[in-house]
Chains A and B, each alone.
Chain A
Amino acid sequence: MNKVEILVVCRHEGILQTIVRLVNNNPEWHAIGTVTDDEAIIAFDAQPFKLVLLGSGIEKESDEKLRSYFALKNPEIAIVQHYGGGSGLLSAEIYEALK
């Protein structure tokens, strides 16, 4: 079974690790975490993702730049803002984005 590939971008390294760990607890999902815009773009170009989660600390300019870049490269990509930084909302956000 192919896992749903998810790219997580979050400036807060501790929270990023938590989000990636929580996503990977679901056997149907696989997450890669990045902190900087450059890391996110390199990761995005390296493999196909189904979903991008944008976490905390991403400046407005970066947010717009990343959304534009990802959408241009893959018009089908789902891009959502992740709120809360932990387990509470994560699964529902992913299920909603993948509907």
Chain B
Amino acid sequence: MMENTVLHKAGTRGHASHGWLNSYHSFSFANYYNPERMNFGALRVLNDDTVDAGMGFGTHPHDNMEIISIPLEGDLEHKDSMNNVAVIKNGDIQAMSAGTGIYHSEYNKDRAHRVKFLQIWVYPNKKNVEPRYDQITLNLEDRHNKLQQILSPNPDDEGVWIHQNAWFHLGKFDKGISTGYNVKAKGNGVYVFVLAGDIKINDQLLNTGDGYGIWDTDKFTITAETDAEFLLMEVPMVF
């Protein structure tokens, strides 16, 4: 098996500035269209969003998509058509299966501080499922110098779950720490996104905001070149 990789440097991402919203798109989204950046397997959207104080996304619909939100700074209020009202904050993860259709809004209720969060969309492995919403608080210590599973396909496993054969992990590594990652399912690839600092995936150096896809391999090594935080998203390459 010949390993394949793709590198998306931070500065090559799509960028949208709407005044209250500053968004970097790793893949084509809204007005950013790049035929070379449509998806990484079942991973379709990776938006690195910053929302101004007191602003947010008004009520809007979604369907047939697994939507994951990971706040990095500040609090985001979520309301949806299933009567869920919740605040997600740094350290939480939210997963929503849009299925047959859902309406929701997301607001930064804080009048003084911005919110930074990752918005991730994964194609579902089943269409037209019943919409569902889940949110958990993660233990930040569980990612210090080790990989913390935050999402899987299994409701009984660690983290939230989605309708796709996908696993997400977060890591917060001190400089010099290294670990291996074993791909969990045959045919899956892993998209690495660097939240802060510099890391190496095998011999490839990545900086803050870079994305790196690796597939047709069973395992790879992650090394922190500085103190660093990163997200691993394992997804099916064919779905």
| Pair A85/B62 contact, Cβ less than 8 Å | yes
Closest to A12 in B: B101
Q: For B60, what are the chain A residues with a Cβ–Cβ distance below 8 Å?
A: 18, 86-87
CA distance A99 to B35 in the complex (A): 10
Q: Distance in Å from the Cβ of B68 to the closest Cβ of chain A?
A: 13
The interface of chain A, by Cβ under 8 A from chain B, is: 10-12, 14-15, 18, 55-59, 81, 83-89, 91-92, 95-96, 99
Is B28 interfacial (CB-CB < 8 Å)?
Answer: yes
Size category of the B interface is 20 to 34
Where chain A touches its partner, the secondary structure class is loop
By the criterion CB–CB under 8 Å, are B63 and A15 in contact?
Answer: yes
B86 to chain A, nearest CB (A): 20
User: What residues of A have a CB within 8 angstroms of the CB of B103 in the complex?
Assistant: 14
Docked Cα-Cα span, A59 to B63, in Å, equals 14
Inter-chain CB contacts under 8 Å: number = 75
Decide yes or no: A56 and B29 within 8 Å by CB, A85-B63, A86-B62, A88-B45 being known contacts.
no
B-side contacts of A91, CB under 8 Å: 30-31, 33
Task: Flag if B101 contacts A85 (CB, 8 Å).
Answer: yes
Choose from B38, B45, B101 the contact partner of A56 (Cβ within 8 Å).
B101
Looking at the assembled complex, report how far the CB atom of A96 sits from the nearest CB atom of chain B, in whole angstroms: 7
Q: Which of B1-48 contact A (CB under 8 A)?
A: 28-31, 33, 35, 38, 44-45
Determine whether the beta carbon of A14 is less than 8 Å from that of B61.
yes
Shortest beta-carbon distance, A65 to chain B, in Å? Answer: 16
Q: What residues on B are CB-neighbors of A89 within 8 Å?
A: 28-29, 44-45, 121
CB distance from A37 to the nearest CB of B (A): 15
A3 to B45, CA, bound (A): 29
B35: shortest Cβ distance to chain A, in Å? 7
